[in-house]
Structure 1
Amino acid sequence: MLLTVRPARTEDVPVLADLYDRTYRGGYSASFDRYGPIKPGDFWWVQTEKELLLLEVNHKPAGMVIIGRREGALVAEEVIADLSAARDEQTFVQRLGAYLLQHFRRERAERLLLRTTEANPLGLSVARSLDLGFTNLLIVTTFRPRSRHVVRAPEGYAIRKGTPADVPELVRIYRECYPVAPEPAEVEGLIRRSEVRAWVAERDKYMVGFLLAEAHAGGFGDLIIGVREAHRRQGLGRALTTPAMNFFHGKQLPAVGLSWGLDGLAQAYYRGLGFTTERIYLFFEKSI
C-alpha cells in the first residue's frame, strides 16, 4: 500500500467536499465554523487560512488532513479517510501518524496536537498509535427554535435591549464572568452590526447580566451570556436567552452552544434550555 500526502489542489475539492459531508452529515464544523453541509466554496476559503492536505492510497484520493492553529500552536484539526480504500488499516494509520509527527517536527512545533470527534475511528486510531494523551473535549450542542416566546423577567428584574451606552458596564460583567474579555470599543462595534443583538438584565436599574447574540455568517446562531454571581440561579439566563432565540427563529437559524469539558456551568445552562449534544471534539497531544 502506497500512502501519499500532498497539498490539495483546486481539482481535488469536489472529492474532499463529498468525503467531508459523508463523514459528518452536516451539523456544526469547528474547522469551517459553519453549520450544515460543507460545500466546495468552503474548502476554497479554508485553503487560504489552513493547510489542506490530500491523502492518496495507491494514487487514488482517500482522505484529508486539515492543519490549523489554536492559540498559536499547530494542530491537526481534521484527519478523515475512507478506510475501505486501504487494505491494511493498521499500516495506513501507522504511516499517517509518522507523517504527522514528521510534519510537526519540520515546522519546529514543540507539541503534536490532534483534534478529532468521538465518532471518528481514524482520528482515535492515530491518537493511539502516536501515544497521544487526552487533554480536553469540546461539546457541541444545538437547539432549533420552533416558535417565538414572550420575554418574562424574574420578579424584581427587567430585561431590555442593550445600547452602546451600556458597553462599559457590560464589559465589566464580561470580565467578572470570563478569564478573557474584549475591549469596550470592540463590543461597541459588535452591537452596532446589523446581524448582532444585545440585551441586558437590570435590578433597580443596576445592570446584572447581558447577552450578545449573532446571526453568524456560517449559518447558525451564536450567543454569549454573563450574569453576576450574586444574581445567578434566579432564571436570568433563561430570560435573557428568550429574545435571542426569537431573533434566531426569525432568521431560521439553529443555535449552537459550545462548552469545554470542565465547564459544568455552561453545560447545565445549555441543557436547561433544551440544547442537545450533537458531537464531541476530543483533543490529544504530546511533547515532541
Structure 2
Amino acid sequence: MLYFNFRADELGRPMTVVDVGANIGALSLPLAVSGHRVLSIEADPNNYACLLAAKRANPGANLLPVNLAATSRFRMVFLESDSAWTQVTDSPASGRSALGMPLVDIIETFEFADADLIKMDIEGSEFSALTAIEPLIANNPDVEFVYESNFEACDFYGHRRQDLARRFEDLGYSLYCFRPQGDLMRYASSLPQGLAIVDMLATKRDMSGVGYAPVVDYDYEWAELEIRKALNRPMEVQQKHALSDLKYCRPALLDSGVWKRAYQAYLKKNPASASGS
C-alpha cells in the first residue's frame, strides 16, 4: 500500500489500478475510497461477496469488483483452499468454480488498459495470468506491476519463482525486491530470492532517483543468511525453499562448512524432498 500511495503522490492525480487477487479488498477499498479508479479481480465467490458488501457500504468508492480468475485462456476453473490462499485447479473436488479469462482480456473488457499499476497476488497463477500480455504493455509502456513471488505457490503450478521473474525481464522490466528493512533491493531472476515469499516491483524506471525508498544493490549476504535460517527451520516448506535456492548462491558459500552441515542435516531428514535437487 505504501508504494501505491507514493505513486499517486508522484503522479499528482487519481490513479487507475488493477488489483488481481483482490481478496476482500484490503488494497482495493482504501484506494477506491481515496478517489482512485480500481478494478478488483477476485475468483473466490466468498471473497467476492465481501467485495460487493464493501462496495455497497462505500457508495462513493470508484471500485469495480469482478468475479473472474486470471488464467492463461478462457475456461471454467475450480478453486482449492479459501480466503487469501485460494488457488485455481482443474479438479472439481472443492465444488467451487469460476470463469477464467486471460488478464489482458479482463483488463480490456472492463476498459482498464490505461492502468498505472497492476497488483498481482494470485497464489502462483501470476505466470499464467501474464499470457499474451505484450499488446497491453506495448500500448501502455509506463504500467508497473507489484507482484508476490511465492516459492511454494509457483511450485504448485509446475514453474519456479525464477520463471516468473524471467517473464517480467523478458517483457522489458527491471525488478526490485521490497525488503523488510524498508529499502528496495535490485533483483534478477538468476539470483537467490532469500525469503520464501516476497513482494516485487516490476518497472521500466530506474528507481534509484525516484525517492520512494533507499535503493540498494543485490545483497548476497542478506539472501544467503535468510536461506540458511530457512534451511534450519522445522517447517518443511521453508526447508524446501532454502534447498531450491541453494544452487543460486555463491560457490564460496556452498563450499563452506556451515552450509555443508545444514545441507546434510536436511538430506538426512528429507531424502525424498531433496532427491530431485
- Calculate the TM-score normalised by the size of structure 1: 0.28
- Look at both structures and tell me which one has the larger radius of gyration over its CA atoms: 1
- Name the structure where strand makes up a greater proportion of residues: 1
- Name the structure where helix makes up a greater proportion of residues: 2
Q: Per chain length, whose mean CA-contact separation is higher, i.e. which structure has more relative contact order (CA < 8 Å, sep 6+)? A: 1
